[in-house]
Amino acid sequence: MRFRDHVVVGDILELAQRYRDEGADELVFYDITASPDGRTVDRSWIRRIARILDIPFCVAGGIRSVADAEEVLGEGAEKVSINSPALADPELISRLSARFGAQCVVVGIDSQTVDGVYQVYQFTGDPERTRNTARKTLDWVREVQERGAGEIVLNCMASDGVRKGYDIAQLSAVRAQCRVPLIASGGAGSKEHFATVFNEARVDGALAASVFHTGALPIPDLKSYLRDTDIEVRP
Amino acid sequence: MQLAIIDSGGANIASLRYAIDRLGMASELTTDPDKVRAASHVILPGVGAAADCMSRLQKTPGLVETIRKLRQPMLGICVGMQLLFESSEEGEVPCLGLLPGRVRRFADRDDLPVPHMGWNQLEFEPGSPLLKDIQPGDHVYFVHSYSAPVSPLTVASATYGEQFSALVQSGNVFGAQFHPERSARIGSLLLRNFLQLQQTQ
């Protein structure tokens, strides 16, 4: 789940608890206060989340160094997710992986088609600064794995927030190059979209935000639907 | 009950302590061999590389010997479980040798990403006190690239391409390949069951 909108910590705790009780398998917290302007931030909220959550969670945003990751993991997160800082300093992936193990290191990739080629975007948290890196997505997918990423979250920007379904073609192309767990992001609008992305793009997980935040798709309904279509899910 | 959590430096220690807190139990994080010896229950958590974890344990004089001689219930979690075996393919490192066997890496397969991360079902024949109130088919959360093969010590297994040990036991020594601290209700039951075990001697 993506906490993209600005919410205060109290609300995050409540939301985290709600998703835990509804059967979410993992939560991702996008710390928008930490990125992209480089301020030092108070990370005590992570501990408050860690105390109440008994499922894995990942923190994304503002992790630019081994020390940042150490703090986030030390507060109780399972994983850190890096995106723009990895593009600025790809060696960061290697350092994090060597220090904490690949399983802690998620690389988020924002990608969309430009002139028929999937390309990577940076600083997508801030519309003013969002830029095309001119990196080809499939090359970057290979590189981050070589550097020790243990999981890739592919956010297909053109689908994001539109709720018309995941970008199956792009996710399938990335899947073919991806030997670590691949998580689909961007586009979930209905329970059928989840079944399609698991069956057709063979992703390991599907991430969604607004469709859950708004209550449009309750997690228990989604899970019982997926079970009925023979996709193995935790009850 | 006095629970000692051995500070192996792994990143899952905070979440493990919170899980124990949620059970209403106290725990002490320590590398002091005297405190480990005095505890009624011991947990050896571990995240990261087996070799790193072993070398961190070896840094404290007497700690490894103390762990090897414990008679009270001890639970290794994830890499902490892998360290209980004789050796690990990961870094070709000799481990604690409390359990016979060798931990190996998942075979490289195109259709199964490694590390294995996610919720998988436990397969077991009921009977272990550690699995009280837990049903075969219940899901727990795994994060690992290495695993122990199924053996006579296997109390519960899981399948990811191949079957592997999810839970092992030999006398007072227990190991969980999954993360009970992040396995929702089932994980919490497992930790509770472990903390209810009586000392064997």
Is there a contact between B31 and B2 (Cβ–Cβ < 8 Å)?
Answer: no
| Pair of tokens at residue A145 | 């794995």
How much is the CA Rg of chain A, to the nearest whole Å? 17
Paired strand residues for B99: B85
How much is the CA Rg of chain B, to the nearest whole Å? 15
Nearest-Cα distance to chain B for A57, in Å, is 9
CATH numbers and ranges of domains, chain B: 3-195 (3.40.50.880)
Q: Which of A177, A176, A157 is nearest to A167 (CA)?
A: A157
Amino acid at A45: W
Is there a contact between B102 and B71 (Cβ–Cβ < 8 Å)?
Answer: no
Sign for the pseudo-dihedral over CA of A64, A65, A66, A67? negative
The confidence score (pLDDT) of residue B51 equals 84
Q: How many domains does chain A have?
A: 1
- Rounded to two decimals, what is the model's pTM? 0.91
What 3-state DSSP class applies to B54?
helix
User: Annotated catalytic sites of B, by residue?
Assistant: 78, 179, 181
Give A86-137 pLDDT, tens digit per residue: 999 999 999 999 888 888 999 999 999 999 999 999 988 777 888 999 999 9
Report the alpha-carbon angle A205-A208-A211, nearest 5: 140
**How much of chain B is in helix, strand and coil states, percent to nearest 5?**
30, 35, 40
Is there a contact between A153 and A82 (Cβ–Cβ < 8 Å)?
Answer: no
User: Is A234 part of a structural domain of the chain?
Assistant: no
Give B168-201 pLDDT, tens digit per residue: 999 999 999 999 999 999 999 999 999 999 865 4
Paired strand residues for B44: B76
The confidence score (pLDDT) of residue A69 equals 94
CB within 8 Å: B183 and A54: yes
The residues, ordered by sequence, that sit 6+ positions from B170 with a Cβ below 8 Å of its Cβ are B98, B99, B153
Place of tokens 């192309």: A173
The confidence score (pLDDT) of residue A229 equals 95
Q: Residue B20 and residue B43: Cα distance in Å, rounded?
A: 11
Counting as low any pLDDT under 50, the low residues of chain B are 201
- Output the domain CATH number for residue A86: 3.20.20.70
CB within 8 Å: A47 and B15: no
Q: Residue A54 and residue A60: Cα distance in Å, rounded?
A: 19
User: Is A1 part of a structural domain of the chain?
Assistant: no
Place of tokens 């961190």: B56
CB contact B110 to A (< 8 Å)? yes
Give A41-75 pLDDT, tens digit per residue: 678 889 999 999 999 999 998 899 999 999 999 89
Report the alpha-carbon angle A197-A106-A51, nearest 5: 100
Considering only CB atoms, B187 lies closest to which of A54, A74, A102, namely A54
Better pLDDT: B185 or A5: B185
CB within 8 Å: A50 and B15: yes
CB within 8 Å: B119 and A180: no
Confidence of residue A3 (pLDDT cuts 50, 70, 90): very low
**B 42-61 residues inside an 8 A Cβ radius of A:** 47-49
Q: Residue A65 and residue B12: Cα distance in Å, rounded?
A: 19
The reply to whether omega before A90 is within 30° of 0 (cis) is no
Amino acid at A102: A
Task: Count the Cβ atoms, other than its own, within 10 Å of residue A39.
Answer: 9
Chain B residue closest to A234 (CA)? B139
The confidence score (pLDDT) of residue A63 equals 93
CB contact B107 to A (< 8 Å)? no
Is there a contact between A189 and A211 (Cβ–Cβ < 8 Å)?
Answer: yes
Task: Count the Cβ atoms, other than its own, within 10 Å of residue B30.
Answer: 18
Chain B partners within 8 Å of A149 (Cβ): none
Sign for the pseudo-dihedral over CA of A68, A74, A75, A77? positive
Chain A residue closest to B114 (CA)? A180
pLDDT, chain A, mean: 90
**How much of chain A is in helix, strand and coil states, percent to nearest 5?**
40, 20, 40
Q: Which of A149, A158, A84 is nearest to A121 (CA)?
A: A84
Q: Is the pLDDT confidence value at A208 over 60?
A: yes
Q: Residue B157 and residue B140: Cα distance in Å, rounded?
A: 11
The confidence score (pLDDT) of residue B201 equals 42
| Pair of tokens at residue A149 | 């990423």
Domain boundaries, position A145: 9-228
Length of chain B: 201
Paired strand residues for B143: B117
